[in-house]
Every structure is written in structure tokens, then in C-alpha cells.
Structure 1
Amino acid sequence: LPKDWINDAIRRQAAQVPDSIGFVTKPEIAAQMIARALAAGVPFDWVAADTIYGVGAIEMQLRRAGKGYVLGAHATDQFSSWIDKPEVAGTAEQIAQALSPEGWTRLSAGDGTKGARLYDWAYVELADLRAEEYNKDLTGLWTRGLLIRRTIADEDLAFFSTWCPAGTPVETLVRVEGQRWAIEDAFETAKTELGL
């Protein structure tokens, strides 16, 4: 429930909202959803989310579970490479601005209402890490990275923190990020049709 509902006892009582229901942030809701999916054995390999979910707690939850992710990051989020990767350090925006023209590839993030959603993409590998560093029951080499999307028309940038099995092609990361659009569209349609 929104904070204004949580803080309004009369409104809660009128709507018969139990006192046990409290305010929870979207990242906390996402973490609960991921935990429930893992506990229930729901088969999934990836999580994609926008910047509201941030980098940090959800990243660590997914790493410990051995799940890949493409999570929205802010232009001001700091990234740096280490462990035998080309030296990169700075904000996501600074890293994007320093990329050479050859560092960008035009790819579709999936079909939209007007056809293919084409953008220019760049992917910067930051580190290769062993999965068992996060969960002793997991094995394999995973790559931490920064995925950058640039619109063709105005060169507006969007940034994504990534975690994936080593060797995952950028096309896969773009496909995962592109799934977010279909999910958001479905949520908006459901809100409209159900009056939420």
C-alpha cells in the first residue's frame, strides 16, 4: 500500500485493511518476489528491472542464487573493472562517453508496437568471478558488466548492471533487457483494464 494509506487509520479501517499490512518499497517487494520464486522452485535464469530497483541488495540476492540479471543503473553509479579486464573506472556515463565508435553495435531489443526497437548498444566486461564466491553450491565463471543503451535519434543513454555466465553474448543481454518493455506494457494494460 502507498504511504498515504498506511498513515491514514480511518481510510484503512473503511477499506478493511488489516493492521498487519505495512508500507514496503518496490525493491523490498522485488526481493520478496525473488525469494518466493526461488523457494517455490520457479524455473528462471534471468531478472530484468529498471533503475528504481537499483544496484546492491537485489544484485547480491541474485548472485547468491546463481541467476543472471540486467538491472537498470543510474548515470551517476560508479563502475570499475578488475581482475584481468581492460581498465575502466568512473560513472556509467563517463564510461559510455569514453567508448570508441567501434564499441557500439546496433541491435533490436525486441518488437514493439511499431516494429523492431533498435538501439546502439555497448557492453563493458568488468570482472570474471567464480560463482562459488557467492554460493558454495554453485560453480562456474560469471561476468560482472555494464550494458549501455543509446537511442539512435537523440543518443540518450540508459545503463544496466549485468551478471551472466562468462561468454554470454551481448545479444542475450539485450534480449533480456528488452523483455522489460513487454512486462511493463502488460502491467499498464492490466491496470487500465482492471481500473487499478
Structure 2
Amino acid sequence: MTNHDQETAAAAIVDPELLERKFTELTSAIAGTFGRVETRKAATGYLRGLLSEIPRKTCWDLGKHAGYETPDVMQRLLARAVWDEDAVRDAVRRYVIDHLADPDAVLVLDETGQEKKGTATCGVGRQYTGTAGKVTNCIVAVYATYASPHGHALIDTELYVQRTYAGQPATREAMGLPDDWAFATKPQLAQRIAARVLAAGVQLSWVAGDEVYGRDPKLRAFLEQRQAGYVLAVGVDFRVPTAAGPHRADYLAKLIPAQAWERRSCGAGSKGPRVYDWAMVATSSPRHVLLIRRSVSKPSELAFFYCHVPEGRPLTLPILAKIAGVRWAVEEDFQQSKGQVGLDHTQVRRYRSWRRHVILAMAALAVLAVVVAVERRSHPAPVVPRTSTDAPPDDYGLIALTVPEIRRLLTVFTQVSTVVTPRMAALRREFELRWSEWRRRHQARARWYHHRKRLAAA
């Protein structure tokens, strides 16, 4: 294949105008929430900055990127400008659903943190965050990802503020917390999010979450009342109601006979199918089961999930294992939102400013996620081995476009033409396409060998 052929093939699957169309679609959807033209212009510039290549997405950097003389316009956008962030959040959710909706979609609940210095930032305090892997000074927020077979993106959030602030009215006022603020646990915040999503008529069948949410009986009851199935992680000491009485999850795992374990994949990862051994344990309820996951390489490593399947829907291990595997989507969204659109780059202190930045970052991620979903619909099936003895193919193909690749490529496409001649812009686009194709072919080759290795280990 010649260089010209490679450029033509790459260009055929990368539409330089797609990001701009989807960006305009979103900004048009939220335009009505900004009462003034100046505010709407600043918000559009803020979003473009979040989608740009600038390494830090603070008001200083975003203001400079948008062409303002000082960061004042961006700081005012977050702190004092009149606009309805709830309406923008809801518009982002509708935008995501319009493109990714599926009856088998999963709402994934999880939290992530951002390390902070000092004591002035709203919600800051010493608490555990998986981002740092320890107890540290940070802020933590609960998020929801909408994950479907077409793609996934963050659609809602609530800031977690520790109980200690309940007795500090002066501090709450300085942090900008609403007058009606009251302490809420992370499961209670997740329930607020789920209530908004379900009230909006969002198409989904399942809710997934980690142990923080699986342990909460009120959240589980709320989901059951609304006929939402769930696969929620629980701890080893979770007491499972059975016909013989309540028993710890780890005790029940010891009673499972060897032939009851099923080896199957819960989804495709970057290095091939994520294969585990799975088993189900019946409970005292016909619509609830305990799902147990066992590592293939380290059988002593177990994970437990308490599951509810509403009436009229099949209760099968393959379905529940697949839903348990969808939880990875929120972790990927955290990684992409922080690395690509600056979710955790904000240096603001007050509640409204934090919330507005986060919602705009979710909007930027939604644009990228939708572009990825649109592009992947026409992407050919991946080239993967069928057995552990397959010989390498002549052509490994290309991996599908990813959020980082889309942001990298289409940022160049939309920016380069404004600073150089059309001829130089075309040459730069061709150069970027060649590098993009090389990266994606290299990653496809690595994927093929990872798959073959997994097949050999199975």
C-alpha cells in the first residue's frame, strides 16, 4: 500500500467535520440556558478549550485559548454569570441518550476524587479516594455513566460533602453550599442521580456499582421499586438471605461444587476477553441471587455481587456476568474525562463553580464519546485469533477510534487551518493521519497477540 493509499484509507474512516457537527449539535442544545450572548460565547469557548490540546484546563489557560486578555471571563462564567447548570446537565444527558440509547443499557454508579491542598475548597477533607489509593486531603464526587453497546459517557454527578460540615454553618456559607444543604451519604447521592435519570425516561435495564452502593439496602429497595435490575458489588462479609437463613458471602462460596463454576468472558478488554470463573447462589427470593467471580490465575481472589432481576426478565448467569463486566465503563470515563477534558483540572473553591466546571467537562466528554460511537458503527470487526495456535495474519487491521485519538486528530483538523495556508494545513492533516494509522495498526497487532495469549491460558 502506498502512502497515498494509506492516507485515503485513513481519511475514509476519520471525518474531520464530524466533531464540529456534533459539537454544534450539543452547543445548540444548551444555548437556551444562557441568557446573554456573551455568556453563551464564553461557554462555547470553555468547551472548545476543554477539547483542545492544552495540558491544564484552568480558567487562566482556557481564557487564553479562547482569545481573552485575562481569565476574568472564564472565572465569571463559573462563579457569577447567570445560567442554569441543571438545564445544561439535563441537555448533556439527552444528547448522550439520543446517540447511545439501548434497551439493555446500564447505569453505572461510582465515585472519584481530586486531591486538594488547604481547607477552603467546597467539600474538601481527609478521606479515602481510589485516585490516590489512600486517605488524603481531597474532594470526592459520585458520578453516573450511561453505558450501552454503542458507547458510554458520564451523564450526572453529585458532590460528596462530609458530615463534619453539618455543624459548621460559616464554613458552608464560605464554600457556597446551598442554604438547604444537608449531609447525604454516597448511596443517597447515587439514589438522587438514579431518580433523576429514571424520571427522565432514560432507556436502561440495569444499574451497576461497587461495594459502597451494593451494601446500602435503601438504594437497593429504591431500584427494586422502580423495576430496575441491578448487579451491585458486595463484600465478603455481606449476609445473603438464603432458604437456610442468612450466611456470609465468603461462606457460601466455599459450598459451591467444582462443576458449578462456569468459565466465561464478561466483556472485551484492551488485552482480550476478560475471562473469569463464575457461579450463582440462590437466595430466599426467586428474583435475587449472589453472583461470585473467581480469578482464573489466582482462584483465591473472589468478588461478590448481589443481583436483582425484575419479574418477566431472564435470570441467567451469562447476562449477570456481562452486566458485572460493564462496570469498567465508568473507570474508563474517569480516565478519559480527567486526561482528555480536564474534569479534575479546576482550581475553583466554591460549590457552584466546581459544579459548573464538572458539567461542562461532562459535556466535552459527551461530544467525544458520541463521535467515537458514530465512527465505530462503520468500523470493521476486529481481527483476532480463534485458537491459541493461529498464525499471525498478513493484516492485523486497525483498532477502532478511541476518545484520545479522536481528540488528538480532530483538534488538529479544526485548529491547523486557522494558522497556516490551506496547502500546509492539508499536509499537516495527512501527516497526523499517517501517525494515527500507525498507532492504530500497532495497537491492533498488540491486541491480536494479547488475544492469542489469553486463549492459550484459558
Class of the TM-score when normalised by the shorter of the 2 chains: 0.7 to 0.9
Pick from 48, 66, 80: which aligns with 2:227? 66
Equivalent residue for 2:197?
37
Pick from 257, 263, 288: which aligns with 1:106? 263
Pick from 270, 282, 293: which aligns with 1:149? 293
**Structure 1's 3 and 22: CA in aligned 2 closer, same or farther, altered over 3 A?**
farther
Matched-pair identity in %: 33
Equivalent residue for 1:52?
212
Equivalent residue for 1:159?
304
**1:95 matches 2:252:** yes
What is the SS of the residue equivalent to 2:309?
A: strand
Equivalent residue for 2:237?
76
Q: CA deviation at 1:184?
A: 1.8
The answer (yes or no) to whether the contact 1:108–1:119 under 8 Å persists in 2 is yes
**Structure 1's 23 and 179: CA in aligned 2 closer, same or farther, altered over 3 A?**
same
Greater strand share, structure number: 1
What is the SS of the residue equivalent to 2:327?
A: helix
Aligned equivalents of 2:273 and 2:260: distance in 1? 21
Equivalent residue for 1:183?
330
RMSD: 2.4
**Structure 1's 55 and 106: CA in aligned 2 closer, same or farther, altered over 3 A?**
farther
The answer (yes or no) to whether the contact 2:187–2:216 under 8 Å persists in 1 is no
Equivalent residue for 2:455?
none
Equivalent residue for 2:399?
none
Equivalent residue for 2:339?
192
1:42-97 CA-partner distances (Å, limit 9, x unpaired): 12111011101124111101111111100111100111323xxxx57520000001
Rg larger in 1 or in 2? Answer: 2
Q: CA deviation at 1:146?
A: 0.2
**Structure 1's 22 and 55: CA in aligned 2 closer, same or farther, altered over 3 A?**
closer
The answer (yes or no) to whether the contact 2:289–2:308 under 8 Å persists in 1 is yes
Greater helix share, structure number: 2
The answer (yes or no) to whether the contact 1:49–1:71 under 8 Å persists in 2 is yes
Number of matched residues? Answer: 178
Aligned equivalents of 1:127 and 1:188: distance in 2? 39
The answer (yes or no) to whether the contact 1:2–1:23 under 8 Å persists in 2 is no
Aligned equivalents of 1:173 and 1:90: distance in 2? 21
The answer (yes or no) to whether the contact 2:235–2:304 under 8 Å persists in 1 is yes
Aligned equivalents of 1:30 and 1:77: distance in 2? 20
Q: What amino acid is aligned across from residue 175 of structure 1 in structure 2?
A: K
Aligned equivalents of 1:64 and 1:118: distance in 2? 33
Runs of 4+ displaced beyond 6 Å: none
Aligned equivalents of 1:153 and 1:88: distance in 2? 32
**Structure 1's 3 and 27: CA in aligned 2 closer, same or farther, altered over 3 A?**
farther
What is the SS of the residue equivalent to 1:177?
A: helix
Aligned equivalents of 2:259 and 2:173: distance in 1? 57
Q: CA deviation at 1:192?
A: 2.9
What is the SS of the residue equivalent to 2:283?
A: strand
Equivalent residue for 2:184?
24
Aligned equivalents of 2:124 and 2:182: distance in 1? 8
1:141-163 CA-partner distances (Å, limit 9, x unpaired): xx111000111111201100001
List alignment gaps of at least 5 residues for structure 2. Answer: 1-121, 126-138, 140-160, 345-458
**Structure 1's 27 and 36: CA in aligned 2 closer, same or farther, altered over 3 A?**
same
Q: What amino acid is aligned across from residue 79 of structure 1 in structure 2?
A: V
Equivalent residue for 2:316?
169
Equivalent residue for 1:133?
none
**Structure 1's 144 and 12: CA in aligned 2 closer, same or farther, altered over 3 A?**
same
